[in-house]
């Protein structure tokens, strides 16, 4: 278990409102257009009370009855505080509302989160900006080398590197940022109290203790990663970032979904080419060839695409 010194939550937000946001975040088990609409219609505390009382909302996916208990949100908030983390809501100054506003017109449940559970000494804001770097878990030495160069250079010049905390390209990006003393954010499909994958526990601790963040849509002691959550993760990573870079991905690699999201949000979708003989780069070559991503080879190309 990790204990770190973190920025405090906004004391101007009442406990009842924070608990209401937490309750809705928990019962939806991820992004929910129905809950977002209910909050817009009734207000957050009134929406939470309605759901707690069993009001039926069309299209609303709800967690288990246990999660709908009135005291569960308070328990998760207490567990988060005990970890040294915090629950950031749309009411808080730290909330990246400008970046998340691009999700307002998203289809289905691909909407802005109702809150984020975060652990670390960093912030959801960045003076320079945030750039996502993603790619295959089964990365090659070439992919890891290029990732380390791009992520390290970006981080050394003040950019915050955002990725998934996973194997391969993601871990190479995080470690390169840490190596130059930069900030990096791991957005996980698990929860902030458990590293996913478990073998990256040390890396997650380094991220949270050295100016970065571990971020999840799911509360501590609750989350088990799934394909659904991993896909929802891509839209969150793209929404947090000014641009998204994929270094290696296969022909049907899941990392291409981050490029799709970046394009949907009107932000640069970028891909690094690899050896023409490498199956690990087929997805990048495909995205570039079909016009779904711009070709980049270094950090200067990435920054130029944002300007």
Q: What is the pLDDT of residue 9?
A: 56
Q: Please determine, for residue 42, whether its predicted confidence score (pLDDT) is greater than 70.
A: yes
Percent of the chain with pLDDT over 70: 89
Cβ-in-10-Å burial (0-12, 13-18, 19+) of 235 comes to buried
Query: Over 80: is that where the pLDDT of 115 sits?
Result: yes
pLDDT of residue 230: 77
Highest mean pLDDT (candidates 27-41, 55-69, 176-190): 176-190
Q: Is the pLDDT of residue 62 over 70?
A: no
The fold of the 130-306 domain, in CATH, is Rossmann fold (3.40.50)
Q: Say if residue 240's pLDDT is above 50.
A: yes
- Which residues, 6+ apart, have CB-to-CB distance to 242 below 8 Å? 129, 130, 131, 267, 268, 306
User: Band of the pLDDT at 256, cuts 50, 70, 90?
Assistant: very high
Give residue 2's pLDDT band: very low, low, confident or very high (50, 70, 90): very low
Residue scoring higher pLDDT (112 or 107): 112
Q: Which helix (H) or strand (E) holds 203?
A: helix 201-209
Say whether pLDDT at 78 is over 90: yes
Distance of CA 2 to the CA centre of its chain: 20
Question: Pick the residue with more confidence: 6 or 179?
Answer: 179
**pLDDT tens digit sequence for 268-277:** 999 999 999 9
Nearest to 300 by CA among 144, 155, 150, 148: 150
- Start and end residues for every CATH 3.40.50.450 domain found in the chain: 130-306
Does 252 have pLDDT greater than 80? yes
Q: Which of 117, 125, 122 is nearest to 97 (CA)?
A: 125
Task: Enter the pTM of the model.
Answer: 0.91
Distance CA 124, CA 195 (A): 19
Instruction: Tell me the mean pLDDT in the region 249-273.
Output: 94
Identify the pLDDT of residue 3.
34
pLDDT of residue 29: 75
What is the β-pairing status of strands 269-271 and 294-295?
parallel
Q: Is 296 helix (H, G, I), strand (E, B) or coil?
A: coil
**pLDDT by residue (tens digit) across 173-227?**
999 999 999 999 999 999 999 888 899 999 999 999 999 999 999 999 756 677 7
Check residue 72 and give its pLDDT. Answer: 82
């Amino acid at each position: 278990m990790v204990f770190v010194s973190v920025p405090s939550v906004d004391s101007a937000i009442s406990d009842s409102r924070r608990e209401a946001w937490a309750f809705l975040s928990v019962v939806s088990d991820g992004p929910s257009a129905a809950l977002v609409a209910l909050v817009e219609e009734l207000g957050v505390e009134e929406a939470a009370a309605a759901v707690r009382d069993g009001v039926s909302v069309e299209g609303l996916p709800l967690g288990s009855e246990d999660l709908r208990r009135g005291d569960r949100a308070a328990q998760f908030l207490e567990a988060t505080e005990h970890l040294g983390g915090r629950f950031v809501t749309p009411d808080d100054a730290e909330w990246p509302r400008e970046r998340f506003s691009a999700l307002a017109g998203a289809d289905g449940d691909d909407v802005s989160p109702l809150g984020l559970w975060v652990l670390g000494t960093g912030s959801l804001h960045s003076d320079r900006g945030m750039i996502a770097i993603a790619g295959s878990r089964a990365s090659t030495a070439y992919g890891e080398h290029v990732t380390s160069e791009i992520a390290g250079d970006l981080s050394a010049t003040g950019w915050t590197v955002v990725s998934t905390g996973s194997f391969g390209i993601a871990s190479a990006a995080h470690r390169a940022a840490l190596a130059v003393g930069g900030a990096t954010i791991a957005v996980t499909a698990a929860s902030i109290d458990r590293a996913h994958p478990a073998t990256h526990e040390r890396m997650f601790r380094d991220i949270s203790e050295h100016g970065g963040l571990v971020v999840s849509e799911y509360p501590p002691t609750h989350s088990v990663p799934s394909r659904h959550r991993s896909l929802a993760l891509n839209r969150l990573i793209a929404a947090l970032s000014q641009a998204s870079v994929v270094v290696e991905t296969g022909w049907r690699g899941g990392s291409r979904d981050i490029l799709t999201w970046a394009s949907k949000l009107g932000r640069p979708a970028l891909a690094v080419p690899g050896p023409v003989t490498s199956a690990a780069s087929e997805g990048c070559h495909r995205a570039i060839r079909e016009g779904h991503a711009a070709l980049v080879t270094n950090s200067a190309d990435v920054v130029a695409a944002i300007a």
